[in-house]
Structure 1
Amino acid sequence: MTKNVGTVLGVIPARYNSSRFEGKPLAKIAGVPMILRTYNQVKQSSLLNDAIVATDDPRILEFCHTENIPCCMTSSGCLTGTDRVYEVSEQLDYDLYINIQGDEPVIDPKSIDQILTLFSVHGDNYAAYNLYKYITDETEINSDTIIKVITNELDEVMYMSRLPVPFSKAGMVPNFKQQIPIYGYTKNALKTFAARAKTINEQFEDVELLRFIDMGLQIKMEETNVSSIAVDTPSDILKVERFLTAQKLN
Structure 2
Amino acid sequence: MKVIAMIPARYSASRFPGKLMKDLGGKSVIVRTYEAALQTNLFEEVYVVTDSDVIFKAIDQVGGKVIMSKTEHECGSDRIAEAVEFIAADIVVNVQGDEPFIDAISLSKLINVFKVDVKKEIDLASLKVQITNKKDIENPNNVKVITDVNNLALYFSRSVIPFHRDKEVSVKYYKHKGVYAFRKQALLDFYKTPMTPLEAAEKIEAIRYQEIGKKIKMVETTIEAVGIDTPEDLEKAKQYLNKHV
User: TM-score scaled to structure 2, two decimals?
Assistant: 0.88
- Across the two proteins, how many residue pairs are aligned to each other? 243
The worse-fitting range, judged by mean Cα deviation, of 179-188 and 26-35 is: 26-35
Paired letter, 1:79: E
The answer as to 2:121 corresponding to 1:125 is yes
- In structure 1, the residue matched to 2:56 is 61
The answer as to 2:105 corresponding to 1:110 is yes
**Correspondence list, 1:99-248, <5 A:** 99-122=94-117, 124-171=120-167, 174-244=171-241, 248=243
Q: 2:77 aligns with which of 82, 100, 108?
A: 82
The answer as to 2:2 corresponding to 1:7 is yes
Q: Which runs of 5+ in 2 are unaligned?
A: none
Q: 2:32 aligns with which of 33, 37, 40?
A: 37
Deviations 1:83-136 (A, max 9, x none): 111112123211211111212222311222111111111252122111212122
What secondary structure sits across from 1:129 in the alignment? strand
- In structure 2, the residue matched to 1:22 is 17
What secondary structure sits across from 2:39 in the alignment? coil
1:142 positional shift: 3.8
Deviations 1:127-150 (A, max 9, x none): 211121212244543444332211
1:59 positional shift: 1.0
Paired letter, 2:10: R
Paired letter, 1:152: D
The worse-fitting range, judged by mean Cα deviation, of 128-137 and 234-243 is: 234-243
Q: Which runs of 5+ in 1 are unaligned?
A: 1-5
**Percent of residue pairs bearing the same amino acid type:** 31
What secondary structure sits across from 1:122 in the alignment? coil
User: TM-score scaled to structure 1, two decimals?
Assistant: 0.87
- In structure 2, the residue matched to 1:3 is none
Give me the whole-angstrom Cα distance separating, in 1, the residues matched to 2:26 and 2:144: 31
Deviations 1:55-86 (A, max 9, x none): 11111101111222221111232221111111
Cα gap change, 1:26/1:83 in structure 2, threshold over 3 Å: closer, same or farther? same
